[in-house]
Structure 1
Amino acid sequence: MTDNSYKNKTAVTVKKITAAGRVTQRDVVVRETAVTLYLNDTELVTLVCSPTNLQELCYGFLFAEGIITEPGDVAGFSISASDGLVWVETREPAPAGANFLRRHVASCCGRSRASFYFINDADIEPVASNLRISPAAITALRGETERRAVLFAATGGAHGAALSDGNDILAFFEDVGRHNTVDKLAGWCLLQGIPARDKILFFSGRVSSEIVIKTARMGVPVIVSRSAPTDLALELAEQLGITVVGFARENRMNVYTRCERII
């Protein structure tokens, strides 16, 4: 995978203040840009993101929203990076676009339980997987993802996400938006023809319900994060058959759901 992390950061002048005094020097900050996605000539959404791997981001976003399911669903893709514009044409009409971000409320037969916020998410099936992984393997792979996080190391302002088969890191992306990193992974899997099922998502940020839903649509059974989950994320993860591991740092971790996969 090409290292284009230099495009994701820029130099600025800062005044550093310490107990010893203040000094003017150059520093590096992460770049943030807005990309507007047009679906079949209709403006769909503006994504705030890092300005690299935009094809993976857009494919992954459309996949996560249930608008496309495979690369063949896309008839045309063009991008103007300088203008922050992306155009996607689908081979068939995309009715999901009409429901984009419409709220979905389910009664769940009168029982109090977590439900999906948006109509496009309501068709997601629970993840079925026999994947098992040891804490030692998680620790080793998590360390490898951190070594690849060169943008975070330079700026302190980026999230990272990696996909692993339990032995190696297959892909890794950084972005200013934590959800964008997962979309880029999903888009990469589509474009490379690599199934995400029976894989592990290593993630730097908070595990929210949105991250769980994106992971479930990919079919990934395990999320490992160095941060915390939310309560709704854990309710959804339990329903969707996803193992959530949080606070995975050094040689410790918390397993919140579907603990049987961590052997």
Structure 2
Amino acid sequence: MERGTEKRKVMRYQGHLFTYEDDDVAEEFPLTIVVNGEEIATMVCSPIDMRELVVGFLATEGIIFKYEDIHSITMDEECGFAYVELHRNLPDARNTDKRWLGSCCGKSRAFYFQSDAKTARTVTSTHKIAVKECLDLMEEFQSTADMFHQTGGVHQAALATAQGVQLSYADIGRHNALDKIYGKILIDKISLKDKLIIFSGRISSEVLLKVSKMNIGILLSKSAPTNLALDLAEDLNITAIGFIRNGRMNVYTHESRVHSQDLHKRES
């Protein structure tokens, strides 16, 4: 059995009968991150791909800007600690949970926390995608979500091109799945020129901000967005596409990145 899931005996009722069976449940694991000897955060996560999670989390919090900012990472997976040493002093992380009123004209910027104000960025990508590519990518994404199919208790996020899924991560925390992708991007120096994000859950403002910090312009989800997420997507130049299922989808923002040959034929 792979780490991240655990077998539990359950009494299952089906067809007017009770049976005892083994069931896979998602593993919930506390991970404490210590940077330069100072405890930064304790998160609850799936205990897989934790190095990528740590790197991505530090980047989204503005503690690092590139993988080379890290001198060393020591993982104590048995006790649930990640010890990180930076090449420089730890930035002042105090008051990062206070509201930040930015000077940008976009109304959504008033909702940023200070760490978001430092690291969120307006995406400059002009990469486009076809409707069929969106539908095909979501189908591929869902067919490869093994841990979700096993447990029904995790979120899934993937980095993809229009041609297919490049890498995928699962976690009980939706933010963690995205941080794992960001960590892998930084560790392997993956080019983001033609990349997009596929996500299994609701498009919330936090999800949208994490995509912006990766500087990726297209976000696909099988679920719905929130109003603040769409305000941020408009402001940060991200194409948010939701409810991708059964041959349908909703393009909520920056629809110029989405094209359809069939639509072009009808318009001509």
1:209 and 2:205 correspond: yes
1:242 and 2:231 correspond: no
- The residue type paired with residue 201 of structure 1 is I
Match of 1:126 in 2: 122
Match of 1:117 in 2: 112
1:155 and 2:151 correspond: yes
Match of 1:93 in 2: 89
Tell me if the contact between 1:29 and 1:157 (Cα under 8 Å) persists in the aligned partners: yes
3-state DSSP of counterpart to 2:94: helix
Cα deviation, residue 213, structure 1: 0.7
Q: Indicate how the Cα distance of structure 1 residues 224 and 34 shifts in structure 2: closer, same or farther if over 3 A, else same.
A: same
3-state DSSP of counterpart to 1:98: coil
1:231 and 2:218 correspond: no
Q: Residues of 2 paired with 1:130 and 1:106: CA distance?
A: 25
Q: Deviations over 1:24-76 (max 9, x none)?
A: 22111111111000111111111111001000000001111111111110011
Match of 2:263 in 1: none
Identity across aligned pairs (percent)? 37
Q: Which moved more, 1:250-259 or 1:22-31?
A: 22-31
1:24 and 2:24 correspond: no
3-state DSSP of counterpart to 2:9: strand
Q: Which moved more, 1:195-204 or 1:243-252?
A: 195-204
Query: Which stretches in structure 2 are left out of the alignment for 5+ residues?
Result: 260-268
Q: Deviations over 1:178-231 (max 9, x none)?
A: 111100000000011113344110000111111111100100001000011110
Q: Residues of 1 paired with 2:168 and 2:158: CA distance?
A: 4
Match of 2:10 among 5, 10, 14: 14
Match of 1:80 in 2: 76
Match of 2:162 among 160, 163, 166: 166
Q: TM-score, normalised by structure 2?
A: 0.91
Q: Residues of 1 paired with 2:32 and 2:199: CA distance?
A: 25
Q: TM-score, normalised by structure 1?
A: 0.93
Tell me if the contact between 1:99 and 1:120 (Cα under 8 Å) persists in the aligned partners: no
Tell me if the contact between 1:115 and 1:236 (Cα under 8 Å) persists in the aligned partners: no
CA RMSD of aligned residues (A): 1.7
Q: Residues of 1 paired with 2:153 and 2:216: CA distance?
A: 26
Cα deviation, residue 144, structure 1: 1.2
Runs of 4+ in 1 over 6 A off after TM superposition: none
